[in-house]
A and B are shown apart, each in its own frame.
Chain A
């Protein structure tokens, strides 16, 4: 009884607040919660144009027993791990190598790594597929003309994942470089000066500070 009274009291006191968040909540439920709920509900049904039949977890079972799905998931995991590792390592390397150089020099390097980020992914894919296409791509063509051994970068089972990883990495690494350089330039000069006076080498400065 006391609890109810308390609730009633607090409801009354907070009603204006609730009213303020009502529009947001309404759209939140309509466009986010409801679709998620519907998505989960529909995943338990087998739906055709004429009927809707409850099948429990059969759809999930079918998905998990599909070798292509499992392979794709595994490839995605490998892809993500490699991309993140490569990007972090390479971007840190580039940024630490150039951050304290002449501002114009930094701009040129930063710009050349950032250009591929600005170009749309579609255009980049087209450019790379033009370069790598085994039949009429530039790289295999040059290799054939120079009578070097020709490999199919997009068709060889062992090569294709590394190639895709490299292409994505090359397209996106500029973003990380920009961020790292920005944060490195942001470090106050006196910290570096102090380190130099202490006799720290460049490697120590980059690794320890």
Chain B
């Protein structure tokens, strides 16, 4: 009896261990076997199709599947198989953290750089300096390279970008008698700060109430960290540099508090939507689309979506045009979200080498880089090629010299974002003065950076 039970138990343990072993086997199959190198490429949804969204079967992974085929055809070092996987943007960090801890990170990740910078600081990415040549450096403006450089090394290969600007309702401007401030359709209008103030005051006085119900001159928001890049840009309006050379926040000076005081004044004068402290950037964008705002924030993708929605009749048509964020110096304040590929440190030299070669391939191949026209191309050559089809490309290109790196490429940027909006809320609700807010933001922000620096491989 005992013997029988013993064997039953033994059998059971055996079955369980076989099951467990199967799990292990599956995991190992994804690495390279023999001569074929198998890579995984993850991306968040960027654009559909290889070159255009109206291709047959166009999807978010079309471009990379096509690039992988082309790469495999011409690559002679190994046989290559690349698995492309589209990850939802809000699952990105969860997926990456689980896979990093489990030792199975993807080989390549294609995403907006600002969202991925922390991985470079954590030592999860490998530098790409060796695949960047002089030809690429001259075709892509230095300011884009700055946004992908952490410490001394380049961690992302810039592919396309998504510039952030202001957008204004030109019809509303004209209805309020502000014709002189309306720029051309293909222009990103640069106002001075005084001009913007005149515009806001003019809109407040003269928006015809019968045509625009519940309308306000400008959209402000501070509910959460969404759209905080525009708030960061406003903080630089009076000339504050925001970060010093060591990557610390230096907002707590006269210019910093002047900028916050300006926002507060706009808010208090009724130039902005009420309740900015509990309004999100999404709400503001929706209000602009409903013709409830004269001036709002936008980026190249949001702007295209607004135009497309007007075209398809989803929203009422009106004349939406672009403007730069003004500054007291008269120069525009310009920033962009650079998108590009990063290579993860998988510990497998062969795979990392092939991954880098593939990144170089699709980021430099003259045919493939044309797909960057789905965003705004970082390459002058591509801008040149499509400038007739997309006249705004040239306008975006002209902003490149005024570009600032809004993340400063500091470690802990994601956590830093959690510190700004509560301070702005405190200012809007009157709980803190602008001076108190900049002081408290600088203290808390530098605390976050200090802690993150201690863990950053780049600062060690």
Q: Please encode chain A, from 134 to 158, with 1 for each CB lying within 8 Å of some chain B CB and 0 for all others.
A: 1110001100100000101011110
Q: Which of A14-22, A76-84, A91-99, A189-197 lies at the interface?
A: A14-22
CB-CB < 8 A to B9: which residues of A? 19, 22
A12 at the interface (CB under 8 A from B): yes
Q: Which residues of B contact A12 (CB under 8 A)?
A: 1-2
Q: Is the CB of B123 within 8 A of A49?
A: yes
Q: A19-B8, A155-B429 are in contact. Are A135 and B455 (CB under 8 A)?
A: no
Which chain A residues in 1-60 approach chain B with CB under 8 Å?
12, 15-16, 19, 22-23, 26, 48-50
Q: B339 an interface residue at 8 Å Cβ cutoff?
A: no
Instruction: Report Cα–Cα, A152/B12, bound state, in Å.
Output: 64
B278 and A50 contacting across the interface, CB-CB below 8 Å: no
* Of B54-62, B81-89, B284-292, B312-320, the one touching chain A: B284-292
Partner of B286, one of A22, A49, A136: A136
How many inter-chain contacts with C-beta < 8 Å in the A-B complex? Answer: 71
Question: Complex formed: what's the CA distance from A157 to B428 in Å?
Answer: 12
Q: Determine chain A's interface SS by DSSP, over half rule.
A: loop
Within 8 Å by CB of B275, from A15, A16, A154, lies A154
Q: Is B273 within 8 A of A135, CB to CB? A: yes
CB-based contact B431/A134 at 8 Å: no
- Chain B residue at minimal CB-CB distance from A22: B12
B283 touches A50 (CB 8 A): no
Please, how many angstroms separate the alpha-carbon atoms of A26 and B425 in the complex? 51
Q: List A contacts of B119 (CB < 8 A).
A: 49
Counting CB contacts under 8 A, is A133 at the interface? yes
| Chain B interface mostly | helix
Is the Cβ of A135 less than 8 Å from the Cβ of B287?
A: yes
Chain A, interface residues (CB within 8 Å), range? 20 to 34
B198: Cβ under 8 A from any A Cβ: no
Nearest CB on B from A170, distance (A): 19
**Does B227 sit within 8 A of A, measured CB to CB?**
no
Nearest chain A CB to B204 CB, angstrom units: 15
Asked whether B124 is an interface residue with its Cβ less than 8 Å from the other chain, the reply is yes
Docked pose: A160 CA to B16 CA in angstroms:
53
Counting chain B residues whose Cβ lies within 8 A of the other chain, the interface size class is 20 to 34
Is B122 on the interface with A (CB-CB < 8 A)? yes
Inter-chain contacts of A134 with B (CB < 8 A)? 273-275, 278-279
B221 to A, closest residue via Cβ: A135
Q: Do residues A152 and B275 form an inter-chain contact, with CB atoms below 8 A?
A: yes
Asked, given contacts A15-B5, A136-B290, whether A152 binds B123 with beta carbons under 8 Å apart, the answer is no
State whether A50 and B123 are in contact (beta carbons under 8 Å apart), knowing that A133-B279, A140-B274 are contacts in the complex.
yes
A136: B residues at CB distance < 8 A: 214, 273, 283, 286-287, 290, 292
Interface centre among A133, A141, A144, by most chain B C-beta atoms within 10 angstroms, is A133
Partner of A135, one of B12, B16, B279, B428: B279
Task: Give 9 closest A-B pairs by Cβ, nearest first.
Answer: A134-B275, A155-B278, A135-B273, A154-B278, A49-B122, A152-B275, A155-B277, A50-B123, A15-B5
A sample of 13 inter-chain contacts (CB < 8 A) reads A12-B2, A19-B5, A19-B12, A48-B122, A49-B119, A49-B123, A50-B457, A133-B279, A135-B274, A135-B276, A135-B283, A136-B286, A155-B425
- B contacts, CB < 8 Å to A: 1-2, 5, 8-9, 12, 16, 100, 119, 122-124, 214, 216, 273-279, 283-284, 286-287, 290, 292, 425, 428-429, 431, 455, 457
In the complex, given contacts A15-B2, A19-B8, what are 8 additional A-B residue pairs having Cβ atoms less than 8 angstroms apart? Answer: A22-B9, A134-B273, A134-B275, A135-B284, A136-B290, A141-B214, A152-B275, A157-B431
A interface vs B, CB < 8 Å? Answer: 12, 15-16, 19, 22-23, 26, 48-50, 133-136, 140-141, 144, 150, 152, 154-157, 160
